[in-house]
Every structure is written in C-alpha cells, then in structure tokens.
Amino acid sequence: TVHERVDTFHDNDQKPVGYGRMLRKEDPRFLRGRGRYVDDVQLPGMLHLAILRSPVAHARIVSIDTSAAEASPGVKAVVTGAMLAQQNLAWMPTLSNDVQAVLATDKVRFQGQEVAFVVAEDRYAARDALELIDVEYDVLDPVIDARRALEPGAPLIRDDLDGKTNNHCFDWETGDEAATEAVFARADVVVSQDLVYPRVHPAPMETCGAVADYDAVDGKLRLWSTTQAPHAHRTLYAIVAGLPEHKIQVISPDIGGGFGNKVPIYPGYVCAIVASIVTGKPVKWMEDRSENLISTGFARDYIMRGEIAATRDGRILGIRTNVLADHGAFNGTAAPVKYPAGFFGVFTGSYDIEAAYCKMTAVYTNKAPGGVAYACSFRITEAVYLVERIVDCLADELGMDPAELRLKNFIRPEQFPYTTKTGWVYDSGNYEPTMRLAMEMAGYDELRREQAEKRARGELMGVGIAFFTEAVGAGPRKNMDILGLGMADGCELRVHPTGKAVVRLSVQSQGQGHETTFAQIVAEEIGIPPADIEVLHGDTDNTPFGLGTYGSRSTPVSGAAAALVARKVRDKARIIASGMLEVSVADLEWDKGAFHVAGDPGRSVTIQDIALRAHGAGDLPEGIEGGLEAQICYNPSNLTYPHGAYICVVDIDPGTAQVKVRRFIAVDDCGTRINPMIIEGQVHGGLTDGVGMALMEMIAFDEDGNCLGASLMDYLIPTSLEVPDWETGFTVTPSPHHPIGAKGVGESATVGSPPAIVNAVVDALQPFGVRHADMPLTPSRVWDAMRGQARPP
C-alpha cells in the first residue's frame, strides 16, 4: 500500500502517455456550453410529446375524454392507456421482473403516474392540450406509510397482479440467523437502533427525455435517449416491441448526470416510440423538473433496525438487521436479478466479525416506482449507513473512541481475499493505513481536544467518522444479470494506418470523463498518446454490447476490457515488429510505445511504424492478417472492493440548530489510479451529494400521497454555499484480479459521506444525550433531537 497526500501533488504531470493528471478531453465542449444533449437534437418535422399525469396517489379511472384536446390547435394525436392496451403496449416489464403501466388503464397508483399523452407541433401546444383532457377519477385510500402497508385491511395497490391480496413485494434474507442469535446471546453488550434512510432522488441536472424517429421505409427506429445503459435498453425494446435489434439504434449522446436515475426504462421513452410510429414523424419528449422528481426512479427508502453485539472491551461479534423496504407502486429497482436488495449484503462493513444476519421485507406503496442505486452500487449506501451508524452507537455505549473501535475490528490485510459472513469475497484491502492517514490529515487528537474545550463553553462541535468498503463492478455474468443479460462488457480497439486509434466502449459516460480516462488506459498499454485515441460510446450501432454505466462499474469492467483489448493489439504488434526487425518475438522488449531488440535499443520500431506496416504494402509474418485491431468481451471474475476513511467536523448553532460542515477529510482507496484529477472530481461530487442527503434532501409525502418534494424549491440540493473545501487523500491497494489493479471510485463518496456527517452531528449533540437522529438533519430535526423529541421521518 502506497499512501501520500493529494495536496502535495501538482498539476505538472501532463504525461504524453498513460496514467496521471490530465485535463479532460471533454472540457472544450462542456466548458463552452457546446455539449450535445438529447434536448439539443432537432430533426426535420419533429413533433413534441407531453404527458398527462395523475394528480392523485390512488384512484380508479372512470373515464377519459380526449375530444377537446384532439381539437386543440397543433395537436396531432392524443393517446390513452386504453389505446395502448389494444396494441398490448399498456404495460411494460421493469428491470426487476415486475410490470409497470406505460399509461394507466385501470387505476393510477402514484401521484404523477402517466395517464395519457399528447403529440403536437410544438411543446407549448402539447402542454396546453393536456389541460383539455378530462379524466374522471374515483379516488381510493392510498398506502403511504410503508409500516402500514401490510396491515389487515390496507388498500390493495396491485390488483392488476393475479391472485394478489396484499401489498407484499418480496422477502429476502442473508447470513446465518441461528449463528447470529448464538453470538448475540453470549455478547457482553448488545446495542440496537432504529434508522431510516429516507427516500431521496438522484436529481440529475438534465432531466429524462428521448427523441424517437421511426423510419417506416427501412423499418428502423432511431432513439436518442437519456440512458445509462443503451445496449440493455435496446434489447428490452426489441423484446417488448418485437423489432429485431438491428432495426433499433439507441443513441445516448452527452448525458447531464445520471446517478442511477437513467438506468430504468421510463414510460415516456416508450410513449415517444409509439408516437413516432403512429405519426410517422420524429417525436421529442423531455420531462420538466417536477416530472423528473415525482415520477422517475427514487433511491433508498429503507426503514432499518440495526443491532450490534460486542465484548465489553470492544470486539465486535455480530451484526443483525431487519429492514422494511418501500418499493413504491411498481418494483422498478435496478439491480442484478439474483439480488432483489441489491448489494445490501455487505452490511457487515469493513469489520472481521463472527456472524451476521439480515431479514428484509419489501412492500408496495402509492409512491413512484424506483429503488435505483443513486450513486452507489445497488443499496450499498444503505448498508454502509447502517453499519457505520451502529458502530458509532456501540462506541457511545462502550464509552470508546469511535476511531479506536474501528481500528480494533478492521479486517486485517493478511485476511484478504476475505469472505464475509454474508458470502461476499472482498478482493483486497489495507484499512488501517487509510484510517490513520485520514486521522493524521484531520489532526484527530487535536480535534478532540478542541471539542472538549468547546463543550466546556457550551459550544456544539462534532467529529464524525465513517469507514466504508464498497463492492463495485457488477458481474461476473454467472452471478449477475439484468433480465437475463449477463453483466459483462465488450470493447473494441482499432489502430489506423497512421497510428491513431479509436476505442469503442459498451459503457456510457454521464460526465465522468470516460473519453479521457479510457484513452489513458489504452495509451498506457500501447503507448499511443491519449490525444491520438478517440473514445466512442453511447451508440448501439457503433459500439460492442455491454451492460452500461452504473454502480461504478465502468472502470472495474470496461476499464479492464480496454486494457485487455489493448494488450491483444500489442501482442499482434509484437509479431509484426519481429518481422520488421527480423528477430524472434522473444528477442523483443517493450518500452511504452516501441519495441526494440533486447540489448540493442537502437534497433526499434514504434507502434506508429507497426500500424503503418500492418496496413501497408510490405509482407507480414507468416499467418498474420493485415490490420491492427481487436475485440474482447470481459467477464469480471469478481467485484472490486474500494474502501475509504472519512472524517467530518461540524458545528451546530445552539440557537438555530443549523448544522455547518466545517471540515471534511476523505481518504479513498480505489486501487490503481488512472487520472487523479478526475478521481478528485468524482469524490468532490459524491461528498456534496452526501451533504445533501445527510442535511437537506428528502422526497416526502403528505397523508394523501401528494409528493412534497416536487420542485427544487422543496427538494433542497446542496450548492457550494453548503459545502466546505474538501480535503482529499488516498492510499493505493490494487485489485488482484483487475488487469491494471483499478477499482471503481465514482460513487465511493456518496456511500461514505452520509454516515460521517450524521455521526458528527450526533457527536455534537452528545451533551443532550442524543444517540441518533434521522436524516435529513434539517434545523428542525436537530432542534427536536436537542429537546429529546427526535422522531423518524
């Protein structure tokens, strides 16, 4: 393990090839406002689609009268669920083997559900006509509180499902119940705590939308859409619409943030496709902010009870949890099918314990569907929050320093690969140096002294720690698939005659800088400068099949594919070089960018010379075809397990209960680092998300099911005013199975920061005897906690 502080690192290593800080290739277009997003697509004759949404959470549809809307100026078509039902298109599969209404036919099941759509000459005409559609609703009692969803007599939400008599969605368990029971029975100390991870929304800057263009002449559908997984979406459209895949082209152009929100297929995409087929014209659908917040994939919404058992001297023995998961009206969770609770199974965290058990029940409620992994690998955020909060509760109970308690229980370096008590195999890790570096950067002992002095003066200062292990890079395909599509990634590399290259990825960037970092990976392997390597992605006609970008899987899966495809090209280049230099392959040595004869560095050929020869007039060695290109499909053997130590310092105003995050130290370990500058950007963004979730964000509902977070006036997201200057550091523990030792990092900070912030707030409130308060820790919540009135949301 190497470790150093990032602040000693200067922006001076613009290396001609390979890893290191490099300004993003994307910057010239993004910083000048020249990105090309779905809403920038303009096609001749394009029409505009707007969706009518339900104003109520639960109601039977009595009638829909569209006649006035149809007569409205500029309107080309008005479509209802009943019309879709005639084509067998009223329902579509979700990513979790449930079904979801494209347009409601029988009932509406959440506020904001799609009821009808209008296609018109422009966006204004379409929106105006929505107001002329007359829907009669027979309003039903809604189920809003997940805790009441299974009560006898609760209104039945999913009466569309055959034989369904209650709102039960699924049960799931992991670990060993009996072994955990035994460990708890003999423990000196058992602490339990109820925790709520509230419903939050990924809220990407760009909302969701699509432009569908069906060409009736050649029978081809082109779909520009805000998707994080263009290939998977294409296959699903092919299955649902009965069109062959080669007749569907999904294009995901520049994407203004995804964070999991753009993994599911939304009714709007399907409506745009139907509208283009019906009208014979290109059709654009673009949601507004409120539509995005009320109807697209939410995240979290777990009601958890965490229990931890330990010896009196602070040895953690077991962790147990019971979870009630609110899945909304349709189970739209995006997770590998074998994992209905995502990767929540990693709730044992970074600790070497004897037993663990989780029992989960998921229910339907009258809320928007989702359960997407908002900037995390499938429910790891919830798992890390649970374990890092209850470890702090245990420290409080034992009167032990929370850093010391963690250091005492970490999985030790020699235990890797480490199989957790719930069956996850952590590939590598070295936790103590990461933790110690964070403590050193924070000046941990000094912070505790400062806190003691301030407490004595009645000031409220808190120091919170979180240590996390993430699990990123889904597959392997034998364990992980989405609706039968195995989680592996293709990659293709072509080197042109002049030594310029194009690498085609199956993953799709949403702002993470893939055009830069994937060029760097290939550059490191074949020695062509990143500037000469073009990265193509996000177009199913021009890239190989793969499952897409979410759960920080791009680097662990496609990054590995890019390195291996480049090695394949290098192997061929070596054979061509042996012919050019008239020596055997074994006599060649590789310096990044050229082969030379061993012991005679003067006799060498560059990769550019080789590329020209591969396409040129001269002879190639026996059995070698012309060209210099390769293709690969990479199936990871395991996930990668990045880790990190986060320390947060907060001050709370005792008069207003306002929390200020004064300092935040984040030490991340994502194995081999491709571009440290991009990594820091990813960490800064994730930490900012964490401040939002911990202190401000919640999609709440009133008792009638009205969404109270339907605009950014009510759903607060953090700005630069709410966040401190982030202090980042890193350690490097390579992944043993990844070809370049890299692990993912995109979401580590979103996962690790909420518990650090909550732990800091609870620490600050210790003089009030507070052991826990639920997110978001708004001033009123903190005020209630100070007065001994903390309530779950």
Residues near ligand CDP (CB under 6 A) are 512-514, 517, 549, 552-555, 670-675, 678-679, 682, 742-746
End-to-end CA distance of the chain: 42
The nearest distance, CB 202 to ligand CDP, in angstroms, is 12
What is the crossing angle of helices 607-615 and 560-581, to 10°? Answer: 80
The nearest distance, CB 289 to ligand CDP, in angstroms, is 23
The nearest distance, CB 672 to ligand CDP, in angstroms, is 6
The nearest distance, CB 670 to ligand CDP, in angstroms, is 4
For residues 760 and 661, give the distance between their C-alpha atoms in angstroms, rounded to a whole number: 9
Nearer to ligand CDP, 340 or 744 (CB): 744
For residues 789 and 773, give the distance between their C-alpha atoms in angstroms, rounded to a whole number: 9
Q: Nearest 5°: phi and psi at 43?
A: -120, 150
The nearest distance, CB 640 to ligand CDP, in angstroms, is 9
Q: Is 243 helix (H, G, I), strand (E, B) or coil?
A: coil
Nearer to ligand CDP, 513 or 593 (CB): 513
The nearest distance, CB 569 to ligand CDP, in angstroms, is 20
Nearer to ligand CDP, 268 or 744 (CB): 744
User: Does residue 742 contact residue 555 with C-beta atoms inside 8 Å?
Assistant: yes
The nearest distance, CB 157 to ligand CDP, in angstroms, is 33
Quickly list H helices, 114-266: 123-130, 177-186, 230-241
Of residues 179, 491, 224, the one with CA closest to residue 320:
179
Nearer to ligand CDP, 175 or 744 (CB): 744
For residues 509 and 78, give the distance between their C-alpha atoms in angstroms, rounded to a whole number: 35
Of residues 751, 779, 787, the one with CA closest to residue 300:
751
For residues 765 and 786, give the distance between their C-alpha atoms in angstroms, rounded to a whole number: 7
For residues 789 and 771, give the distance between their C-alpha atoms in angstroms, rounded to a whole number: 12
The nearest distance, CB 167 to ligand CDP, in angstroms, is 34
The nearest distance, CB 496 to ligand CDP, in angstroms, is 24
Q: Which two tokens stand for residue 294?
A: 């009320």
Nearer to ligand CDP, 576 or 674 (CB): 674
Q: Which two tokens stand for residue 38?
A: 């779905």
Nearer to ligand CDP, 422 or 682 (CB): 682
Nearer to ligand CDP, 174 or 549 (CB): 549
Nearer to ligand CDP, 83 or 670 (CB): 670
Of residues 101, 109, 60, the one with CA closest to residue 271:
101
Q: C-alpha angle 23/251/673, rounded to 5°?
A: 30
Nearer to ligand CDP, 361 or 552 (CB): 552
The nearest distance, CB 520 to ligand CDP, in angstroms, is 8
DSSP E strands in 584-726: the ranges are 588-591, 594-597, 600-606, 629-634, 643-652, 659-669
The nearest distance, CB 555 to ligand CDP, in angstroms, is 3
Q: Which two tokens stand for residue 355?
A: 């037993």
The nearest distance, CB 747 to ligand CDP, in angstroms, is 7
Nearer to ligand CDP, 577 or 740 (CB): 740
Task: Please classify residue 352 by burial: count the beta carbons closer than 10 Å to its beta carbon, then call 0-12 exposed, 13-18 middle and 19+ buried.
Answer: middle
Nearer to ligand CDP, 94 or 516 (CB): 516
The nearest distance, CB 559 to ligand CDP, in angstroms, is 6
For residues 384 and 377, give the distance between their C-alpha atoms in angstroms, rounded to a whole number: 11
Give the length of the chain.
793
Residue with tokens 């190497």: 2
What's the DSSP call for residue 677?
H
Q: C-alpha angle 159/80/206, rounded to 5°?
A: 95
Instruction: Kindly list the distances between the CA atom of residue 321 and the CA atoms of 193, 352, 435, 756, in Å, as whole numbers in the listed order.
Output: 10, 17, 26, 20
Q: Which two tokens stand for residue 124?
A: 């204004």
Nearer to ligand CDP, 207 or 510 (CB): 510
- DSSP bridge partners of 491: 505, 632
The nearest distance, CB 553 to ligand CDP, in angstroms, is 5
Nearer to ligand CDP, 180 or 672 (CB): 672
Nearer to ligand CDP, 24 or 107 (CB): 24
The nearest distance, CB 721 to ligand CDP, in angstroms, is 26
Give the β-pairing of 99-101 and 168-175: unpaired
Nearer to ligand CDP, 222 or 553 (CB): 553
- Could you count the other beta carbons within 10 Å of the beta carbon of residue 44? 6
Instruction: Kindly list the distances between the CA atom of residue 603 and the CA atoms of 324, 375, 580, 599, 744, in Å, as whole numbers in the listed order.
Output: 68, 50, 10, 9, 40
Q: Is 766 helix (H, G, I), strand (E, B) or coil?
A: helix
Nearer to ligand CDP, 213 or 489 (CB): 489
Exposure b/e, 648-658, CB count within 10 A at least 16 = b:
bbbbbeeeebe
Nearer to ligand CDP, 409 or 509 (CB): 509
Quickly list H helices, 349-443: 380-398, 402-409, 431-442
Contacts of 588 (CB under 8 A, 6+ apart): 574, 577, 578, 581, 595, 596, 597, 598
The nearest distance, CB 732 to ligand CDP, in angstroms, is 9
Helix (H) or strand (E) run with residue 84 in it: helix 81-86
The nearest distance, CB 122 to ligand CDP, in angstroms, is 35
